[in-house]
Structure 1
Amino acid sequence: MDTSHKGGLDRHRGYTSAEAGVSETIAFLASMGWHLTSDPALLRFKGDAVLNDDFVVARYSHGPATFKYTPPKDLPTGNRIVLHACLAGMLTLQATTTSADLNPLDVAIVQPEEITGAECRSTTTCMFVIFRSAEARKHQEMLTGQSSEVYLRILKAATFALLQDPPKGLQPGFIQIQRGLEELAKATAVRADLRADTDSLNAVYRRGLALIGSMATDNNTSVESIAHDLHVSRSYLLRAFKAKGTTPSATLRNERLGNARRLLEEGSSTKEAAALSGFGSARNLTGALRADT
């Protein structure tokens, strides 16, 4: 583990539970505001960060984990934005007013002090950039969206290059590097067509309805396959439908029932109606019809 302070530029490299020890890693994360509430044996954390008073850029990966976030007391508030990008796995980022499931290529932008926690159910790799912004107050509500792969790839490459060999101290050229990364982060956010979580939920609900309408007759269509086709997590799909007072499974079942009843009215046998409506078997269709009466 290498921790050093050089000319006003902090460098934290190689924080891994294997190299630093679990207790040291947990203490370091807590000093940054992230308090582990899950099994530390699963953490397997490693990460890099470059930071000064105005700017933070970091990458990290770890195993399944749950964190509560409390902003460090020395963190300036009110004039900073964090762009958090998921590179691999899935991260649920929680804020004071909402939460968002970030899948690969997804980004979230919010004021750092609005974050309340995070949860990962599998190994996850992410990166983030924190920078000053005159428009920070506009981001008290977390916005999320899927980034352009090109923009995120450029930001990732620039970030990883800086973390691989950060400048020694605040060299004259570092301020240009910092500003360049800030502009890349802003461009990545713009290209992501960021929306408030409620807008994202509405979009997922509408797309989910359309997908169910077109795929319900396929016996292999399920809640999991719908979430996969929409590139969202199962839990996020459930949230989108719950916001409308229903569930994707109920919507799928009702769509199939409507198709089956129409086929039966047209003279199809129970077996034929079951096969053509997505129930798969006459027994499944009969059970669904009984449950719906």
Structure 2
Amino acid sequence: MSYLPIIQKTIEKIEMSLHEELSLKNIASFAGFSKYHFHRIFQKEVGVTVSEYVRYRRITNAAALLMYTDEKILDIAFTYRFESQEAFTRAFKKVYQLPPGQYRRIMSNITLQREERNMSQEQKIKGWLLSGSHPFHYEIGIDYGVVHKGKGSGYLKSVTVESPNEFGTLMQEFKADQYKNKRLKLSGFIKTKGLSGFCGLWMRVDSAMQDVLEFDNMSDRPITTDTEWNHYSIVLDVPENSAVISFGILLNGHGQVWIDELKFEEVDKSVPTTNPSAAHDLLDEPTNLSFEESLNESSNNE
């Protein structure tokens, strides 16, 4: 059983309720599970407990308010359900290694310098490249204001898109050597705005001859509407003859997508692959070779 849909539904609820009281019991009840069972499946899928997730999302949003608003630190602390400014400061320092006031002063100056620099030159991202059908119609960069965790997220947005069939991708490639004969899971958090088409994670496994061995671009579960941060994943097998693994985020048409906290991990065979072509069951033997039986007749006979 895949718990990802209910995890995504729950994260959507959490993201909308960060200003409100969020207990494990209430969240688990919303998901339809006991709090102990939901604690286990949430941590297995997302990598942190529910309480840890809520806490770092509140702190991340608080950091954005510190950088981009003049709100008082005490008001920000109360907005995100901290009982006092002292409690907020302790929690904030664990994540950013700075007290909130000092973080505001330092990061505000750094952000201003970045904005001035990025106005005059295209922003590059270490390890990442822009590709797609019309890459020059899209832009990539690092966003320090829209963040899921930490200090920045990657983004891909349309700039001069002319056709709904155009797409861009923020992507990477790496050698498959250490992952051969393993099942590999790519997961991360995505936020979208202004979509006219669709977007989604993608991953591809190629041979040395550039044959596509495994592929998934979330075509059977695309993101087509504006969404707050949520968790998505792809699971593919890496065959023995694999040479290159490519992955990234794809944006079709207009809009903007942010991506953060990407993670690769090896999973066992109990985790189903998301390769769409692997979902089709093979027949035990050839059937209906003379075309005498229609699909409706076959269904009625079952």
Whose RCO is larger (CA < 8 A, sep 6+)?
2
Whose radius of gyration is greater, 1 or 2? 1
TM superposition score normalised by structure 2: 0.30
Structure 1 or 2: more helix by fraction: 1
TM value normalised by structure 1: 0.31
